Amino acid sequence: MIVVIGCGNTNRSDDGAGVGVVHELQSRELPADVRLIDAGTGGMDVMFHLEGMQRVIIVDAAQTGAAPGTLYRVPGDQLETLPPPSNLSLHNFRWQHALAVGRMIYKDRFPTDISVYLIQIASLDFGLDMTPAVREAVTQVADMIAGEVLHERSA
């Protein structure tokens, strides 16, 4: 089972990029074992969707200072060293924490194939519309993910 988890706040313009990718993928024909999750801003929700998954793809917005719409793909081996969080509450529990805590809780039921796509944002203004560069990147990431899962299933 593959799960694609989109994170972000769709009420804050480009911050909804991860959720936008999931919504874009919902309109595509994907294999039956691909689950699409709109996790919004709830890191704890991300954690609950990890148990027993074969492959996990997380998509979120990023603020790195790069050009808006710049894409980053972080492979799972770089995520394996995430330290367990300390002093967390539900208000600051993000997908990074979900990976670290999920690994501790689920042990051998924790997925070993995890990757993260990050999309550089331009705006965190209140509003439902993404900026053009980020909207284009959302479509591009959806294309990349759809291509990956279709290729994996045909191989």
Q: How many domains does the chain have?
A: 1
The pLDDT value given to residue 80? 65
How far is it, in rounded angstroms, from Cα 80 to Cα 17? 24
Range of the domain at 55: 2-154
Over the stretch 30-69, which tens digit does the pLDDT of each residue have? 999 999 999 988 888 888 888 999 999 999 999 999 999 9
71 pLDDT tier (thresholds 50, 70, 90): very high
**pTM summary value:** 0.91
Q: What is the mean pLDDT of residues 125-145?
A: 98
Q: What is the DSSP letter of 150?
A: H
Q: What is the mean pLDDT of residues 114-135?
A: 97
Least confident of 6-10, 28-32, 74-78: 74-78
The pLDDT value given to residue 42? 81
pLDDT at 98 over 90: no
Domain containing 13 — which CATH number? 3.40.50.1450
Q: Return the HEC string of 29-88.
A: CCCCCEEEEEEECCHHHHHHCCCCCCEEEEEEEECCCCCCCCEEEEEHHHHCCCCCCCCC
Average pLDDT, the chain: 89
